[in-house]
Amino acid sequence: MKELKFWQAINEAMHEEFARDDSVTLSGIDAGMPGGAFSASRGLLERFGPLRVRDTPISEAAIAGLGVGAAMNGLRPIVEIMFMDFLSLALEQLAGQGAKQHFMSAGKLRVPLTVRTMCAAGRNAGPQHAGSLESWVAHIPGLKVVWPSTPGDAKGLLKAAIRDDNPVVVIESLSLWTAKGPVGGEDDIIEIGKSEVKRAGRDVTLVCVGSMVQRALAAADALSAEGIEVEVLDLRTVSPLDKDGILASVARTHRLVIAHDAAKPFGFGAEVAAIVAEEALGELDAPIRRVTAPWAPLGTAPAQELAYYPDTDGIAAAVRSLLA
């Protein structure tokens, strides 16, 4: 299987979908001529022309509205919101307008929109550039939210998002940007709404997504040396959550840890925990643990980031605490 870096996988997914379907477009700040602020759209403008690949003003509300309105009139647009912190500027158009069109029109309108956005956690990008804000968009019925953890998942999930008839937010992690891995071919789509067991294990289910998956796998490696076998469940999709996948894993391990970079209260970990508590409490041999960022904005200094985000040791400690 061909190997690509994470950003190259995103780039290849867009090239393939642009070639496959004339109605696919890309608009965003630096998305066209500069080839993307982080190179993800390199070559698209040259290959597909300035009508379909366009730089926009720094106007997130208009960018989101552009995508929703274009999707309502026959395109399958991709729009870019450079950092997910800026989703706040676009949220009315996404949440108030895009997510509800199919519902309000009783099925007459569809919004096949893809919103690519970056989570820059772990790169000293600071309080207004590096939030892990998936819950902002996960709590909106009508939107889907995916967050790939590998180049292969990035390609397959982005292609799925582009082909989906609903608005889908695709979160891309800057910390994974140059990670290399195998990627699928032109029609290898990863189904939205399905998790994947990234590592099987009998003792504890460790639920995570996106850039947390690497730390979860590292924690699982360390624990394996101690004789603890962790099942790392990569959600791949934050919303709608793969309830069946979560419950099946907990039924195998009887213990649950959830790790995410978002603050603990109202983070998706609370939802995962609630699902298990509601539907599989009897399966649990230990309390549920969440390993998350604290209830505070993020600081910029490396030491502040280290103190803020869950690390491998913290995740491993939470797992051990369930087996003590």
Partner 1 sequence: MNIGHNAAPAREQLTAQYRTMILIRRFEEQAARFVNEQKMPGSTHTCIGQEAIAAGICGALQPGDQVLTTHRPHGHFIAMGVDLKAMTAELMLKQTGINRGRCGSMHLVDPDHGVLGANGVVGGGVPLAVGAAYAAQVRGSGQVIVAFFGDGASSQGGCHEAMNLASLWKLPVIFVCENNGYAEMTPSTSHISVSNIALRAPGYGMAGAHVDGNDVLAVSQAAAEAVRRARAGEGPTLIDCETLRMRGHFEGDPERYRPEGQKSEWLARDPIARLAGVLAERFAVAADELDAIDREATAAVAEAARLADADPAATGRDILDFVYAGEAA
Taking the least distance from each CB to partner 1, the nearer of 60 and 203 is: 60
Among 129, 139, 254, 260, the active-site one is 129
Distance CA 173, CA 53 (A): 22
Binding mask 43-82 toward partner 1 (x if CB under 8 A, else -) reads: --------xx-x-xx-x-xx-xxxxxxxxxxxx-x-----
The interaxial angle of helices 312-323 and 212-224, nearest 10 deg, is: 50
Cβ neighbours for 194, distance < 8 A, ≥ 6 positions apart: 236, 237, 242, 245
Minimum CB distance to partner 1, residue 240 (Å):
8
Sketch the per residue contact string, 112 through 141, with partner 1: x for CB under 8 A, - otherwise: x----------------------------x
**By CB under 8 A, what part of segment 87-106 binds partner 1?**
92-93, 96-97, 101-106
- Shortest spacing between CB 33 and partner 1, in angstroms: 14
Q: Which is nearer to partner 1, 166 or 312 (CB)?
A: 166
Q: Which is nearer to partner 1, 163 or 215 (CB)?
A: 163
Dist. CA 247–CA 195, nearest whole Å? 11
- Taking the CB of residue 88, how many other CB atoms lie within 10 A of it? 14
Helix 268-280 / helix 243-253 crossing angle, nearest 10 deg: 60
Q: How far apart are CA 112 and CA 315, in angstroms?
A: 37
User: In this structure, what are the phi and psi dihedrals at residue 153, rounded to the nearest 5 degrees?
Assistant: -70, -35
- Largest Cα separation within the chain, whole Å, is 61
> What residues numbered 140-159 form the site for partner 1, per CB under 8 A?
141-142, 144
Q: Which is nearer to partner 1, 79 or 298 (CB)?
A: 79
Report helix angle 151-163 to 6-20, nearest 10. 30
Shortest reach from residue 12's CB to partner 1, in Å: 23
Binding string, 165-184, against partner 1, x = CB under 8 A? xx------------------
Using CB under 8 A as the binding rule, whether residue 239 contacts partner 1 is answered as: no
Smallest separation, CB 25 to partner 1 (Å): 6
DSSP assignment, residue 5? E
Identify which of residues 189 and 200 has a Cβ nearer to partner 1 in the complex: 189
25 binds partner 1 (CB under 8 A): yes
What is the distance between the alpha carbons of residues 71 and 106, in angstroms, rounded to a whole number? 16
Q: Cβ closer to partner 1: 104 or 306?
A: 104
230-234/196-199 β-pairing? antiparallel
Write out the two tokens for 110. 């569809």
CA distance 107 to 240: 19
CB of 145 to partner 1, least distance (A): 13
Does residue 129 have an active-site annotation?
Answer: yes
Q: Is 310 exposed, middle or buried (0-12, 13-18, 19+ CB in 10 A)?
A: buried
Nearest distance in Å: CB 161, partner 1: 13
Q: What is the DSSP secondary structure assignment for residue 266, as one 8-state letter?
A: T
Interacting residues with partner 1 between 4 and 23 (CB under 8 A): 23
Instruction: Report how many helices (DSSP H) and strands (DSSP E) the chain contains, helices first.
Output: 12, 14
191 binds partner 1 (CB under 8 A): no
Q: Among all residues, which ones are annotated catalytic?
A: 129
| Residues of this chain that bind partner 1 (CB under 8 A) | 23, 25, 27, 51-52, 54, 56-57, 59, 61-62, 64-75, 77, 92-93, 96-97, 101-112, 141-142, 144, 164-166
